[in-house]
Structure 1
Amino acid sequence: MSDTAPAPAAPVAPRAGGVAPLQPVILGADIGVYALARSFHEAYGVRSVVVAGAALGPVAHSRIVDHEIVADGHDPRQLVDRLLDVARRMPDRRLLLMANSDWLVRVVVQHRAELEPYYVVPFLSEGLLDQISDKATFAEICERLDISVPRTIVQDFTAAHEPGWAPAAVDLDYPLIAKAASSADYQDVEFEGKKKVFEIATPDELTWLWSALRAAGFRGRFVVQELVPGDDTQMRSITAYVDSRGEITLLCSAHVLLEEHTPSGLGNPAAMITYRDDAMLEQARRFLTSTGYRGFANFDVKVDPRTDRFRFFEVNPRIGRNNYYVTAAGANPMRFVVEDQVEGRAVEPVVVDREVLYSIVPHRLLLRYVRDPQLAQRVRRLVRARATAHPLAYGKDLSPRRRAYVWAAKLNQVRKFRRWYPAVTETGF
């Protein structure tokens, strides 16, 4: 299956005396946005313009970003209008637009016609976005490509407002996993007990979830999947970049050590070690090539301890919240998109094999959760070798206020894990 890929943006004409300077513009204000700004600054020495509803902690008081604040950061029209306003004020810059959450990627893709006269928009087409962003459709694609996924049942709420609607039967063994097929459809749905991912232990819990979603006005699709056993250390992450010619120029994989366990952040990696796994990467390559993918992609994968098979959970149509692990491993992903989309040059493909420890939690906290002795030893070895990275701890952007924020962010991780995922044992250095 394939979809028509967006045409690469043509380079703007150079200014008199040289090429138009690069100007990254990024939607959002979370830790992943700061990581993008940091990677741009490391590679090109440029400040990024960050467009959001507020200057949140990760990007606040930063010397490497300029803020464009809109009244309502959840209003697509306000965001697009501000992007157009920024572009009109920077007519001599080569504007590269980035977004790093599913719904913001959709905003950009749906308004591509308005934005592309001013911006390089390095994202996949809307048709392909619709297909791969839906976890149910993603599972169908993977099955056709012989890529293993958990068994999936789809619950469609499109007609849930009708009196006779009833949820479909679920014949999976408990416990099981339930999550929105499209996170964009779930973004603004609010109800008590809302989570990013639900681990359902009994049929009664599933009945409660269906009722809560229906009452909250959710009219998208939810997927119910078999629970693949194993703790956080069974998870893997893959980041890829497919250039405007369809060439996969960047592949980087990481072994997850610890995930976040707050209701809103459940499943987001908190610590990873980069490594190379060609068998896993080959399956990602097959997916990207077969679908005609373009731009950045981030896959969530789990190793099934019963079979040692890779079980692909989803692909995010963006670089991912924890994108800095790629830069830390020596392959700054911003270079790949800039050379491809801005400079119009082919990039020699890279498969990252350098090992680094990426962590947003203190190392001592991490070691309380890594119970596998070999993994713990790898963590200690990388810490001693100083082959570590925290996306917020950027030496060129550590004013006193930023230092205080980074320290507070680490302390807050300790508090969050103590509340939502207390460690059973503690392992020191």
Structure 2
Amino acid sequence: MSEQIQPVILGADIGVYALARSFHEAYGVRSVVVSGAALGPVAHSQIIDNVLVEDGHDPRQLVDRLVSLAAELPGKRLVLMANSDWLVRVVVQHRAELEPHYVVPFLSEDLLERISDKATFAEICQDLGISVPRTIVQDFAQAGEEEWAPVPVDISYPLIAKAASSADYQDVEFAGKKKVFEIQTPGELDELWASLRGTGFRGRFVVQELIPGDDTQMRSITAYVDSRGATTLLCSAHVLLEEHTPSGLGNPAAMVTTRIEPMLDQARHFLKSTGYVGFANFDVKVDPRDGSYRFFEVNPRIGRNNYYVTAAGANPMRFLVADRVEGRAVEPVVVDEQVLYSILPNSLLLKYVLDPALRSQVQGLIRAGKVAHPLRYAKDGSPRRLAYVAAALINQVRKFRRYYPEVTGTGF
């Protein structure tokens, strides 16, 4: 049955290409990618058919195009994937329209709303005995009222502020907007609250203690929970370097897959206790003060950097297809293989990896050829794609030179 599958993927970023690549590696199939524009990662690809909609941010257009697309692909088992929070929400909210045509391997709408909100996620973790940074919630629901005032914040500075729900924050625009804010003073926090209130933001922001340590304290977990509720795939990675552009802050740029069992146990506990199904991606930080694993959030999707799992020998699409297309239960897998996943030139990465043990590990993986870049695929090597990949690597050098020119040894 797997030979009849047809992946249909919403979006156009590097994570979408990684999904298409994983499907192609597993089953030799081309993916249909639906988006508002064929951006660089998915353009000129020999493993992707791009389908464009006039407005890629209009949920109604996307859903209508998915329904009409299904009629154009008779005889195939259509598997629908999305890899950004707001697109997952579109799919889940329109499940009744899409499920007659597609396999929709996502969690319930109720659970999506609960775990996608960083404030509610923190509460769930605390109830389960899973460590999180100390969190205060700032609710802007009544911020349009003249008498509204933000709640006091008694967390030590510097601290972290970010939207509780990225979907609520998606279309908010103001000067200095960032995915994550490192706030140095009460005055800076007051300015952020004023900007959010003034722009009409009516969601929630969370303020959290800043867990000390640089990018290398971060960890990533990718999981798949099958339709029976069994966690059949777990893979963890040690982050070496994150992106530092305002829009990409916190996205891992380089990681080494590393099995970290105590952290994975907590992820299993969360997934089982919440009744989770589908792919999940956790952001975790090791607290150097006590060695605890502080869970920051869970993304209700496989994650932008999902290719690290495939590179380590456990192609996630095989777990998905076995479960949702073939109806098979599979033996759970915890990834042990070590590979270096990186979207950076090796020389740029090594500039930032200062810890001698980590640096030696990275150099060893490079020498052994155990390095994976999601866009570098030998079976998708047209001249225009090769030129794009080369330009993307050069652009990484420019971005780090501009936004993170020196290694400071601090971060979040």
Using the size of structure 2 for normalisation, the TM-score is 0.98
> Which of the residues 284, 307, 316 maps onto 1:333?
316
State the aligned residue count.
408
Q: Does 1:229 align with 2:212?
A: yes
Q: Does 1:24 align with 2:15?
A: no
Q: Does 1:307 align with 2:290?
A: yes
Distance 2:53 2:388 in 1: 23
Q: Does 1:61 align with 2:44?
A: yes
Compared CA separation, residues 133 and 396, structure 1 to 2 (3 A): same
Distance 1:371 1:207 in 2: 36
Q: Does 1:187 align with 2:170?
A: yes
> Which of the residues 139, 143, 146 maps onto 2:129?
146
Q: Does 1:393 align with 2:376?
A: yes
Amino acid in structure 2 at the alignment position of 1:354:
E
Name the SS of the counterpart of 2:161 in structure 1: strand
- Describe how 1:112-261 pairs up with structure 2 within 5 A: 112-261=95-244
Contact 1:191 1:216 in 2 (8 A): yes
Compared CA separation, residues 424 and 256, structure 1 to 2 (3 A): closer
Give 1:419's aligned residue: 402
Distance 2:289 2:87 in 1: 37
Deviation per CA, 1:182-208, whole angstroms, max 9, x where unpaired? 000000111110000000000000000
Q: Does 1:406 align with 2:386?
A: no
Give how far 1:91 is off: 2.1
Give how far 1:347 is off: 1.2
Give 1:383's aligned residue: 366
> Which of the residues 59, 77, 98 maps onto 1:94?
77
Give 1:8's aligned residue: none
Distance 2:360 2:393 in 1: 22
Give 2:66's aligned residue: 83
Distance 1:424 1:305 in 2: 18
> Which of the residues 316, 330, 336 maps onto 1:353?
336
Q: Does 1:109 align with 2:81?
A: no
Distance 2:154 2:133 in 1: 14
Distance 1:217 1:71 in 2: 26
Note the aligned Cα RMSD (angstroms). 0.9
Contact 1:237 1:298 in 2 (8 A): yes
Contact 1:299 1:314 in 2 (8 A): yes
Taking only the aligned residue pairs, the percentage that are identical comes to 78
Deviation per CA, 1:91-148, whole angstroms, max 9, x where unpaired? 2110000000000000000000000000000000000001000000000000011100
Distance 1:413 1:201 in 2: 27
Name the SS of the counterpart of 2:374 in structure 1: coil
Compared CA separation, residues 213 and 91, structure 1 to 2 (3 A): same
Deviating beyond 2 angstroms after TM superposition, the runs of 4 or more aligned structure 1 residues are none
Using the size of structure 1 for normalisation, the TM-score is 0.94
Give how far 1:227 is off: 0.2
Contact 1:340 1:346 in 2 (8 A): yes
Contact 1:20 1:92 in 2 (8 A): no
Gap runs ≥5 in structure 1: 1-17
Q: Does 1:320 align with 2:303?
A: yes
Gap runs ≥5 in structure 2: none
Q: Does 1:47 align with 2:30?
A: yes
Name the SS of the counterpart of 1:397 in structure 2: coil
Contact 2:2 2:325 in 1 (8 A): no
